[in-house]
């Protein structure tokens, strides 16, 4: 917890940090409340945009490989094992990226990692387009995955820490919803190239290389975003940086007194170790819920999505790659993409917990129907109807909420690390799904695959109900129980919320 006191010594080993000035109460008491109560502004949407473009690229780069491996199989004579590795290696590498970037966010800052992750992703995407054999492509896909993994905790945490309380789910959810456009862009670009008759040996390079374009477009903008106000104050104890962030966010100055005028200092103690430790029992349960649900969801989502061409080929053995790509794109366009935005719209109304368990429940029913109802996999349109239903509730369900949850339910001092762990667990599940589904289609067929996905969905439903809290409408400090203010004699309690920002987009 945080003790904010004018007389007590700090709790951290480094001792208390002194802040001068009659605006210190504003910086300490009202800073988070001011950001929590702020109306939606252009700076909110700027943060969402530059984070969301990273997620557009993440989704495109992760899922386009399914189509690329189909094109490369006759060119490089790929085996099933090689296809599985290419489809899944970026997901395994993203585990390392999520863990490393998450930890560094809590040490060196949110913004520093924000730009580095998308830069690594851009480099990896460019290199994949120039691969010369299976092993070079595999190595470059590792770089792509590391960058993708780093983008998950960085984008989620910085978006959550800037968001206002009433619409935090909508804002963080919008970042993740950009994944839907990346999912759609893959089949769309592949369909255009295939329909135009571009040779397969060129098409796959163009498909992979395109992933660098949206990522590169936001590197500069990410470098211009200011450090998260919560990291500046709670971790660094730097009210000067916080006031500069406030000025950047509102486009107005708080005046010369904001940086101190020689009045009596205010002591800001660092978080006590127990308040920002994942070893706390309640935090361990939350980590189990956040990471476990993300792990289960990604097995189903990535297993089905990356192997979509293989699933559709098993369903229609004589169908063309173009027809299967168009079918896959249609499912994303008419079911998955709307699911993302319904979740964004209802996130702060229904709450994260209900959307998550409800999504898992419908997924379980849809997958079980495919597995158990006789003849479904022999009837293309019946199969596609159930498969599309599962996609809608994946997005209007745990695919969205497992991203939002970790950025909200952990203390500031470990928020990056915990989000990285949860994202890493998710990508372990994604790796397992992408690696195993091609083999499972051969061993047990599409019905067997869907039966396994139904069981996984039921497990996610039960874990959500048993462990996870509801963060809707609460401040980040309230959710984590990390803030206690004591000894506030003489400090003014009435703090005005942030004013409507100016028209300046970048300070």
pLDDT of residue 251: 63
pLDDT of residue 115: 86
**CATH superfamily placement of domain 42-225+274-476:** MFS general substrate transporter like domains (1.20.1250.20)
CB 80 within 8 A of CB 60: no
Q: Which residues of the chain have pLDDT under 50?
A: 1-29, 255-275, 484-507
pLDDT of residue 197: 86
Domain ranges of the chain: 4-37+228-268, 42-225+274-476
pLDDT of residue 451: 96
C-alpha span between 429 and 291 (Å, rounded): 10
- How far CA 33 is from CA of 163, 164, 171, 309, in Å, comes to 11, 9, 17, 49
pLDDT of residue 123: 95
Residue 266 pairs in a beta bridge with: 19
pLDDT of residue 256: 42
- How far CA 183 is from CA of 68, 136, 417, 433, in Å, comes to 14, 25, 27, 17
- pTM: predicted TM-score of the whole model, two decimal places: 0.81
Long-range contacts of 447-453 (CB under 8 A, 24+ apart): 447/370, 447/371, 447/376, 447/377, 448/371, 449/303, 449/304, 449/311, 450/367, 450/368, 450/370, 450/371, 451/367, 451/368, 451/371, 451/372, 453/299, 453/300, 453/303, 453/304, 453/363, 453/367, 453/390
pLDDT of residue 39: 84
CB 296 within 8 A of CB 356: no
C-alpha span between 159 and 55 (Å, rounded): 13
Specify the residue for token string 């039966």: 451
C-alpha span between 338 and 397 (Å, rounded): 12
Contacts of 491 (CB under 8 A, 6+ apart): 6, 25, 29
- How far CA 399 is from CA of 143, 324, 340, 370, in Å, comes to 24, 24, 9, 21
pLDDT of residue 276: 58
C-alpha span between 464 and 449 (Å, rounded): 23
CB 161 within 8 A of CB 229: yes
φ, ψ (nearest 5 deg) of residue 279: -80, -15
pLDDT of residue 402: 97
């Amino acid at each position: 917890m945080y003790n904010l006191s004018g007389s007590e010594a700090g709790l951290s080993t480094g001792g208390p940090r002194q802040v001068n000035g009659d605006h210190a109460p504003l910086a300490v008491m009202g800073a988070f409340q001011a950001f929590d109560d702020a109306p939606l502004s252009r700076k909110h949407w700027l943060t969402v945009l530059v984070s969301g473009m990273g997620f557009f690229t993440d989704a495109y780069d992760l899922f386009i490989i399914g189509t690329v491996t189909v094109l490369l199989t006759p060119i490089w004579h790929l085996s099933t094992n090689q296809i599985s590795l290419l489809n899944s290696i970026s997901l395994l590498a993203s585990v390392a990226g999520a863990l490393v970037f998450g930890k560094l966010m809590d040490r060196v800052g949110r913004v520093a990692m924000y730009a580095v992750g998308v830069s690594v992703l851009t480099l990896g995407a460019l290199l994949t387009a120039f691969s010369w054999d299976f092993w070079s492509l595999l190595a470059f896909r590792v770089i792509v995955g590391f960058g993708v993994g780093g983008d998950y905790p960085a984008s989620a945490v910085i978006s959550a820490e800037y968001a206002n309380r009433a619409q935090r789910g909508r804002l963080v959810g919008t970042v993740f919803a950009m994944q839907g456009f990346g999912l759609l862009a893959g089949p769309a670009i592949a369909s255009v190239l295939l329909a135009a008759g571009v040779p397969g040996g060129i098409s796959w390079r163009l498909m992979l290389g395109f992933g660098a374009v949206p990522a590169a477009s936001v590197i500069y903008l990410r470098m211009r975003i200011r450090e998260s106000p919560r990291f500046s104050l709670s971790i660094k104890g730097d009210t000067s940086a916080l006031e500069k962030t406030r000025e950047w966010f509102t486009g107005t100055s708080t005046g010369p007194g904001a940086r101190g005028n020689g009045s009596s200092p205010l002591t800001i103690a660092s978080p006590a170790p127990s308040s920002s430790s994942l070893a706390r029992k309640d935090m361990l349960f939350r980590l189990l819920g956040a990471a476990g649900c993300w792990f289960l969801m990604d097995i189903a989502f990535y297993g089905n999505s990356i192997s979509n061409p293989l699933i559709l080929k098993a369903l229609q053995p004589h169908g063309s790659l173009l027809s299967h790509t168009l079918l896959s794109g249609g499912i994303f366009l008419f079911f998955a993409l709307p699911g993302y935005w319904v979740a964004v719209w209802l996130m702060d109304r229904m709450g994260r917990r209900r959307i998550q368990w409800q999504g898992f429940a419908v997924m379980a029913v849809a997958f079980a129907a495919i597995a158990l109802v006789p003849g479904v996999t022999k009837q293309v349109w019946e199969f596609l109807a159930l498969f599309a239903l599962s996609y809608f509730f994946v997005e209007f369900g745990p695919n969205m909420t497992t991203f939002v949850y970790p950025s909200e339910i952990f203390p500031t001092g470990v928020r990056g690390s915990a989000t990285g762990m949860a994202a890493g667990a998710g990508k372990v599940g994604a790796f397992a799904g992408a690696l195993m589904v091609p083999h499972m289609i051969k061993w047990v067929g599409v019905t067997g695959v869907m039966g396994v996905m139904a069981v996984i969905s039921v497990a996610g439903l039960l874990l959500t109900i048993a462990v996870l809290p509801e963060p809707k409408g609460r401040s980040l400090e309230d959710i984590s129980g990390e803030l206690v203010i004591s000894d506030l004699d003489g400090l003014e309690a009435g703090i005005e919320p942030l004013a409507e920002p100016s028209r300046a987009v970048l300070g």
